[in-house]
Amino acid sequence: MKVTIQAVAVWGKIAPSHSITAIMITDDQQTIVTGSQEGQICLWDLSSELKVSSKEILFGHTASVTCLAKARDFEKQPYVVSAAENGEMCVWNVASGQSVGNTKLPYRHTAICYYHCSFRMTGEGWLLCCGEYQDVLIIDAKTLSVLHTLTSSQYSDWINCMCIVHSTRIQEDSLVAVSIGGDLKVWDLSSSLNSIQERQSVCEKESKSLHCINCRAIRFCTYTERLLLVVSSTCWQVYDYCDFSLLCTEFCKSGQCFAGGEVLAAYRLILWTEDGHSYIYQLLNSGLSKGIYPADGKVLKETVFPHLLCSTGVKENKSFPFVMGFMNERKEPFYKILFSGEASGRITLWHVPDVPVSTVDGSPKEIPVTTTWTLQDNFDKHHSVSEGIIDYLCASEDGNENAVVSSSVYIPSLDKLVCGCENGKIFVTLALRTVRARLLENISLFKDNLPYKVLTGHSSRVTCLLYPHDKLTRFDPSWLLSGGQDSVVICWDIFTGEILHQFTLQSGPVTELLQPPEDCRVNQSIVCCVCRDHSVAVLHLQDGVCLLHARKHLFPVKMIKLDPVENLLIVGCEDDSVYIWEIETGTLERHETGETAKAIFSSIDESEYLMAGVQLPISQDSKRHKDTAYKFSSSCKRGMHVPCPHLGDNSSKLCFCFCFFQLPDTGHIQQSFTVLPLKTKWNNINFHVLLFDLERLVELLTSQLSGLKSSNSFHDYDTLQRVKSTAEKRSRTLKRNKTAGSICAVNGQVNTVCANQDHTDSSVRPLEESGGMKRHKKMKSSRKNKLQPLGNIDVNITDTAKLFLSCLFPWGVDKEIDNLCVSYLDILRLQCPVSFGLVSDENYMSLMLPGWSSTDCGVLEERAVINLFSKRVLDLANKFLSATEGQTGRKDGPGNNIHGSQGSETVFLLNRIALINRIINIPLDISEVESIFYLYACMYNKNRFYAPDFENISLMKLTRCWSDQSIKIIEAMQAVLLAEVQRTVITLRKTAVCREPLPILENGNGKGNQWTSQLKLSCSFATELSMSLGVPKHDKGSNSTSFQDAEDTPDRCVLEESESPGESHLKTVTNW
C-alpha cells in the first residue's frame, strides 16, 4: 500500500521557475500540461473561454522533462506520460494530479506516440518512443516496460520525429519516422501486432532517404489521406504518401528555424518556428484534388505551391526556445488552438479561426494572441495565497517588502525555523507558531506576540544555512552556520544571536555548507563550504579557523569526502575528475582524471560523502523504514549526507523528491509536523512545504488522549537520548538567556519550555504562558525526567492537529458548521485558501498552485467559500452522509464524542480522514477478496482504531468506489470531514440536552491485533461481517474498565475550559 503524507505549501511572492520544455493540451481541452527544465510538471486549467490558470505542480522527475504524450485513451483515463533527460518515465493522472506509474530506463526519449488498437490488442496500449538510441522502442503503457523494438534493416540511426498514420483508405496503421540522418522509414503496426507480441524482429516496410537534415516534425494529412508534411529546421516539404514523391518545398526566412507543423485541414498547413512565430499556408493546387493516382506524381509536383494566409507572432521574444503545438478539434465546443510555451515559463494561446483567410489585398493576416499567462501572474493575482512564510515579520521589521527569503532551515528538535533573507538578515522563529500566524485568520495576536530574533551580520543575500547539531550531536547545539553572497560564513549562537566566528573566504558567494556524515570518523567539529568559484573551504568551528581552502577546481564540485585517517580532502568534480588535498599542508596531492578518477569514485562508499550525488537510492529504503518505524537508525545515517533540499546552483538539477522521504522519516520519529524548505534552481526562490504525517498524528493524539503514553513502542533508546540532550541544551540556553537579557530570546525560549513542560496549560492557552516562566523552571527541575519524553510532543501535536483540520476544512459552506468548528473543535478559520499537497513514498509530490481556488469551484459565488477544493467535494459529502445515514444509532461516533473533550472529537475526525486516506491508497488492481482484506488491514494495521461496524464497512465501500473515479485523496478527505462535521451539527441539535457520557472505543489495542490475525485465518467476508457486528458490544465493557485504569495518572485530570462558548460542554476527564 502506498503511504502518503499530507502537505501544505507556503509559497513566496515569486513563483518557482518553470522553464517549459514540453507542452500539450489534453483531449478534453480542459488542461494544459507543461514539463520544465527543472523537472516539474505543471497542470494548468484551460477554461471554455480560453482563460489559463495554474492548478497544480507535480514533482517527480529529477531531470529536465523531454517530452509529454497522452498515455491512454483519454475519454477513459486522463493519463499523460512524461519522460525526462535521465531516462525516467512517469505516468500521471492529470485529473487528480497523481502519479500512476513510473520507471527508469536507460533510454532518453525525445518523442512518444500512444498507440492502441482496441480490437486486436490486449492491455492498455503501447507507447512508441524514439530518442537518443537506434530506432523505435515499444513500451507497454501500463507497466512501462520495454516490450519490443522496431528495427531498421539498414541505416539504423536515432529517430528524430515520427507520427502514426491511421487511414481508412490504406487499412493499415503505420508508423512513419524520420531518422537523424534524414531517412524516412515506415513500419507497419497493425499487421505486425502478432510478431511484436511474439517478439519476432520487425523491420521497416519502406525506407527512403529524404536528404533533409534535422527533421523536426512529420505529419500525415488525415483529410486527404495522401499528403505527408515533413518539417526540417530550414524548410518544410510536402510529400505524396503513396510514392513519397516530393510535391513542394518552402524555405524559411533567414534567421528563423522551423520547429514543427501540423495539418490544419485539407491542403492547409500550419508551421511554427523556434522563435514563436507561426504561418498558415494554403496549398494551391489544380490537379491534386482530382487525382489520387500516384502515377501523376510528377505532374502534381509542378502544380502545388504554398500561399501564406495568416501568421501569428510574439511581440518580443523574451526567452528563446519556444515549444509549440497545435490542437485540431472540429467538434463544438472545441477550438483550434495554437499553443506555445517559453523558457521563461510563459504560455501563449492563439485561437485559430476555422477558416483562416488572408486580408482583402492578399497579404497575410495576423492572428492576435488570445491568452498569455505565466505562473507569476497567478502568484500576483492571488497574492494572499502566495504570501511567504515570514513575510509579515519582514514587513513589520522595516516596512519594505523586499526581504525575500533566500534560504532557510528547519530545526526539528527546537521546532525552529531559520530564514535567511535577500537583505542579509536572518530570522529565527518558532516554526509551528509562525505557520499558524501565516495561515490562520484573526491571529493578529499571534503575529504580534510571535517571538522571533533577527541576526544581522551579512551584508547581502544569505545563500545557505546549516544547523549541524541536528544531525550530529558532537556539534554544539547552539551553533548555526550561515553563508552569504558576500563570501562570508558566520557561526552564530542561535540562542543569543551573537556571532561566534566569522570566516571571510573571498571566493564568491557561498553555495553550500556541508557537514560530514555521522559514521565518518572525523572527530572535530569540521564543516565544508563550497563557493561559487568551485573552491572548497574546510572550517574548524571549535577553533574558528579555516583549515584549508582548496581553490583549483575547474568544474562544479559534485562530491566531497573527508578522510580522517590520512587527513585528506577528496573532491570530485562534475567533469569526473578527482582532486585530493592534504589538509595539514594545504597542498594538492593528486589530480586524477579518466580511469583512475573512476576507480577512486567507485571505491568511495556513497555513505561517506559529505554531499551526495543527485541520484540516491533512497526511495526503496524509505519505503522499508516507514513500515518498521522504530528500526530507523540506518535510514537516519543515510539522511545525514544529503545536503537536503538546499539546491544551490551547482547541485545539478533538482532533487526534491529524494529529500522528501527522508525528512519525515529520519530525524524525528515523534515529529508529525515538519517544515521543509525548498529552493528552485534558476531564480533561487525559496518556498516551504509543511508536512503532516497523518498516521503519526493520529497515533500520537490517540495515545495522548487515552493515557497510553508510557507504553508507546517508539520510545526507544534513541529518542530518550535525544530528549536528554535537548534537556541539557535547554538548561544551558536558559542560563544564557538570563545573562543575555534579550527579551525576544527569553520570550521564545519560554515558549519552547512551556511547550515541552506543561501540555495542558499551553495547549489550551498558548498565548498566556509567558508569565509563568518561574513556575515552569521549577517544574522543570523537579519533573524533567518524568515529563519531558512525553511532554515534548503534546502541545505541538494538538496544535498541529488543529492546524491540519483548519487547512483541510472548507470554510464558508455553512455558517453554522463554521461556528461549530470554531467553538467545539477549537480550530481557527483560514486567512486564505491553502495550497494543499500530497507527498507519496513513490517519489513524487503534488502541490496546488495559488490559482487553484479559481479553477474548480468558481461557480459557488453566492457563498464566500474559502478553501473548497472542488465542487465535487459537496456532492461527495452528501453522498457520504446519505450512505451512512442509516446508522445513526451507532455506539461510537461524533454524536457521543461531542460530549467528550475536544481532543477526542479531533481524534475522531483525524481518524476518519486517516482511514479514508488509507482506503484510497489501496492499489486499484486487486481482486475482490484481496481488497476486502486490505480494508480490514486498513482498519487494524495501526491497531488503535474503531471496531468495525456497519457504518465503517459502508464507508469503505463508498470511498473505495471513489478511488476508482480518480477523485483526489484530498477531495475525499475534505468531503468526509465536511460530512462528519455536518452530522455532528445534526446530532448536536437533537441531543443538546442529553449529556450522558459514553466511553470511546478507541483504545481497543489488543483487540485490533487479534482481529487482524483472525482475519488472516478466515478469509470469508461473511464471517468477518458477523463477527464485526458481534464484537463491539463485547469490547465496550472491557475497554471502559481498562480505560479508567489508564486514566488514573494524575496529570490527565485537567479541565479544558477556555474555549467553552458559554454552554457546558466541557467535562473533566475524571468523570469518565
Which stretches of the chain bind other proteins, using CB under 8 A?
Answer: 17, 19, 37, 85, 132-134, 154-158, 180-181, 209, 214, 233, 255, 257, 274, 318-321, 343, 402, 404, 422-424, 459-461, 484-486, 508-509, 532-534, 554-556, 575, 594-595, 649, 682-683
Q: State which residue, 101 or 508, has the beta carbon closest to other proteins.
A: 508
Q: State which residue, 154 or 603, has the beta carbon closest to other proteins.
A: 154
Q: State which residue, 486 or 1056, has the beta carbon closest to other proteins.
A: 486
Cα 1062–chain centre separation:
43
**Shortest Cβ 19–other proteins spacing (Å):** 7
**Shortest Cβ 406–other proteins spacing (Å):** 8
Q: State which residue, 140 or 649, has the beta carbon closest to other proteins.
A: 649
Q: State which residue, 201 or 888, has the beta carbon closest to other proteins.
A: 201
Q: State which residue, 165 or 419, has the beta carbon closest to other proteins.
A: 419
CA–CA distance, 1044 with 577 (Å, rounded to integer): 67
At 864, which amino acid appears? A
Q: Determine the 3-state secondary structure of 229 from DSSP.
A: strand
Q: State which residue, 63 or 430, has the beta carbon closest to other proteins.
A: 63
**Shortest Cβ 459–other proteins spacing (Å):** 5
**Shortest Cβ 490–other proteins spacing (Å):** 14
CA–CA distance, 971 with 873 (Å, rounded to integer): 6
Cross-strand partners of 409: 418
CA–CA distance, 204 with 159 (Å, rounded to integer): 13
**Shortest Cβ 158–other proteins spacing (Å):** 5
**Region of residue 869 (left: phi > 0; alpha: psi -120 to 50; beta: else):** alpha
Cross-strand partners of 149: 137
**Shortest Cβ 929–other proteins spacing (Å):** 38
Q: State which residue, 19 or 311, has the beta carbon closest to other proteins.
A: 19
At 276, which amino acid appears? G
| Among 730, 718, 704, CA closest to 795 | 704
**Which H/E stretch holds residue 299?**
helix 297-303
CA of 19: how far to CAs of 61, 555, 682, in Å? Answer: 14, 24, 9
| Among 219, 238, 124, CA closest to 167 | 219
Q: Determine the 3-state secondary structure of 826 from DSSP.
A: coil
**Shortest Cβ 486–other proteins spacing (Å):** 4
Q: State which residue, 40 or 840, has the beta carbon closest to other proteins.
A: 40
Cα 307–chain centre separation:
48
Other CB atoms within 10 Å distance of the CB of residue 815: 10
Cross-strand partners of 268: 265, 282
CA–CA distance, 252 with 574 (Å, rounded to integer): 39
- Give the angle 110-113-117 at the CA atoms, nearest 5°: 160
Task: Give me the residue label for grid cell 513542394.
Answer: 248
Cross-strand partners of 388: none
- Give the angle 284-286-289 at the CA atoms, nearest 5°: 90
Name the grid cell of 511: 553555495
Contacts by 335-338 with C-beta closer than 8 Å and gap 24+? Answer: 335/29, 335/50, 336/264, 337/25, 337/29, 337/50, 338/270, 338/272, 338/278, 338/312
Q: Determine the 3-state secondary structure of 692 from DSSP.
A: strand
Q: State which residue, 594 or 771, has the beta carbon closest to other proteins.
A: 594
**Shortest Cβ 421–other proteins spacing (Å):** 10
**Shortest Cβ 682–other proteins spacing (Å):** 5
Q: State which residue, 273 or 796, has the beta carbon closest to other proteins.
A: 273
- The answer to whether 1014 and 924 have CB atoms below 8 angstroms apart is no
Strands 268-273 and 258-265 come out as antiparallel
**Shortest Cβ 611–other proteins spacing (Å):** 19
Q: Determine the 3-state secondary structure of 980 from DSSP.
A: helix
**Shortest Cβ 341–other proteins spacing (Å):** 14
Q: Cis ω on the peptide bond leading into residue 333 (within 30° of 0)?
A: yes
**Shortest Cβ 532–other proteins spacing (Å):** 6
**Shortest Cβ 533–other proteins spacing (Å):** 7
Q: State which residue, 46 or 343, has the beta carbon closest to other proteins.
A: 343
Q: State which residue, 74 or 133, has the beta carbon closest to other proteins.
A: 133
Q: State which residue, 432 or 513, has the beta carbon closest to other proteins.
A: 513
Phi, psi angle pair for 872, to nearest 5°: -60, -30
Q: State which residue, 158 or 392, has the beta carbon closest to other proteins.
A: 158
- The answer to whether 900 and 999 have CB atoms below 8 angstroms apart is no
**Shortest Cβ 535–other proteins spacing (Å):** 12
**Shortest Cβ 84–other proteins spacing (Å):** 12
**Shortest Cβ 681–other proteins spacing (Å):** 9
**Which H/E stretch holds residue 406?**
strand 405-411
How would DSSP label each residue in 553-584? Answer: --S-EEEEEEETTTTEEEEEETTS-EEEEETT
The dihedral over CA atoms of 280, 285, 290, 291, expressed in degrees to the nearest 10, equals -100
Q: State which residue, 294 or 508, has the beta carbon closest to other proteins.
A: 508
